């Protein structure tokens, strides 16, 4: 009886701990975003009324000077509430009373800190790796299609299907993005730039989806201060650019609604990565954390109402007009954007829940 109980507890814990880790990590990424706003608000002497870790009911709170700090029940984000951020205020330390350049930095800081966090995670991973992947081809598999098409060992891949390649991450992403398995390669061979087009790679079906078979191996370099600094920056650029390419693919119909994931889906992916992670190899969950943090940073800079990018857009209008847009009009736009964003997120979350029960 006792052994049966322990076995049940062990089985439940085995399924629960990756989800708990996933929620905590996702919450950490969002919290870092809010911390970026908070730090620069304090630096610029803006009154911060509330700073919360987590969402929902308050577990405990304490006040220091004018700011109320709280820890809340659900570890999925947080918020930084500044005086005069969304309402009129006569306080000389209000957000709205500050020069537009200071407000711009405060609003942008959240996204920038997310990108920096992603870059730091990438740098840590590369620093611990045996070799760092480059964009140069080292060898080919036996009967390689790419070798037969004219690619050679020593070639540096500079573009795939017209998209520039910055890092080894781009090679994987852009080849995965290809639908028909026919790829155009841009290469640098010595000092010469060449193109080899219409390379039809072999494909295989995995879980009902066609995937390209990679038939070459890229060269790796030993981690050093310079190599880690260089390739972590390039990989961060690659991850950030993926947002823009993915949005373009969504708008043009290359990918559909079923390919988008909301917070529930993201937590599921992190949990899956956590389940694959062990002490000797943290790469799965760290890679996903870096990707999500960078993507959240870039996505928040989009000029969409209710996002930080929407606020920055109104500030750019203010800089051009040399006077702010009346706050009530800006509030209406952000409110409408928030309603649409919440409706969109609800639809995605419902899709994620249905997918979880079907899988």
Q: What is residue 85's three-state secondary structure? A: coil
Instruction: Indicate which residue of 34, 85, 235, 330 is catalytic.
Output: 34
Give the tokens for residue 158.
């500079």
* 121 CB-near residues (< 8 Å, 6+ apart): 286, 289, 290, 293
Question: Domains in the chain, please, with CATH?
Answer: 19-129+223-359 (no CATH), 131-221 (2.30.42.10)
Tell me how far apart the alpha carbons of residues 284 and 271 are, in angstroms, rounded to a whole number: 10
Q: What is the pLDDT along the chain (359 residues), one digit of tens a residue?
A: 554 544 554 554 455 556 666 677 777 888 889 999 999 999 999 999 999 887 788 888 888 778 998 988 877 678 899 998 877 788 889 998 899 999 999 999 999 999 999 999 999 989 988 899 999 999 998 889 999 999 999 999 999 999 999 999 888 888 887 777 889 999 999 899 999 999 888 887 766 677 788 889 999 999 999 999 999 999 999 988 887 777 776 666 666 555 555 554 454 545 554 455 554 556 667 777 888 888 889 888 988 887 889 899 999 999 998 888 887 777 788 778 777 766 766 666 565 556 655 55
**Which residues is 192 bridged to in the sheet?**
189
Residue 272's Cα: distance from chain center in Å? 17
Task: Tell me, yes or no, if 34 is annotated catalytic.
Answer: yes
3-state secondary structure 274-334: HHCCECCECHHHHHHHHHHHHHHHHHHCCCCCCCHHHHHHHHHHHHHHCCCCCHHHHHHHH
Helix and strand totals (H; E) in the chain: 9, 10
* Exposed/middle/buried for residue 48 (C-beta within 10 Å: 0-12, 13-18, 19+): buried
Give the tokens for residue 110.
């959240």
């Amino acid at each position: 009886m006792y052994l049966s109980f322990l076995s049940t507890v062990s089985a439940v814990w085995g399924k629960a701990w990756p989800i708990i880790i996933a929620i905590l990590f996702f919450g950490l990424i969002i919290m870092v975003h809010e911390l970026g706003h908070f730090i620069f608000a304090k630096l610029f002497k803006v009154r911060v009324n509330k700073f919360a870790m987590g969402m929902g009911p308050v577990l405990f709170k304490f006040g220091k000077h004018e700011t109320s700090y709280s820890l809340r029940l659900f570890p999925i984000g947080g918020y930084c509430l500044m005086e005069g951020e969304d309402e009129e205020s006569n306080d000389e330390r209000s957000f709205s009373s500050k020069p537009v350049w200071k407000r711009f930095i405060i609003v942008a800081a959240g996204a920038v800190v997310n990108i920096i966090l992603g870059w730091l995670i990438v740098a840590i991973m590369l620093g611990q790796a045996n070799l760092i992947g480059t964009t140069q081809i080292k060898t080919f598999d036996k009967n390689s299609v790419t070798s037969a098409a004219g690619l050679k060992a020593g070639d540096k891949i500079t573009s795939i299907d017209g998209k520039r390649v910055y890092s080894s991450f781009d090679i994987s992403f852009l080849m995965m993005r290809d639908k028909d398995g026919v790829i155009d390669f841009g290469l640098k061979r010595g000092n010469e730039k060449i193109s080899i087009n219409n390379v039809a790679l072999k494909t295989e079906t995995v879980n009902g989806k066609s995937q390209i078979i990679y038939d070459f191996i890229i060269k790796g370099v030993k981690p050093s201060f310079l190599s880690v600094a260089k390739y972590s920056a390039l990989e961060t650029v690659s991850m950030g650019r993926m947002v823009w390419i993915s949005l373009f693919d969504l708008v043009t119909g290359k990918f559909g609604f079923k390919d988008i994931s909301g917070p529930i889906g993201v937590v599921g992916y992190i949990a899956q990565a956590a389940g694959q992670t062990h002490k000797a190899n943290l790469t799965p969950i760290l890679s996903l954390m870096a990707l999500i943090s960078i993507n959240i940073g870039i996505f928040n800079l989009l000029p969409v109402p209710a996002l930080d990018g929407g606020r920055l857009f109104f500030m750019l209008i203010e800089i051009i007009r040399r006077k702010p847009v009346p706050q009530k009009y800006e509030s209406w736009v952000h409110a409408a954007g928030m309603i649409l964003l919440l409706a969109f997120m609800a639809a995605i979350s419902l899709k994620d829940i249905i997918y979880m029960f079907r899988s």
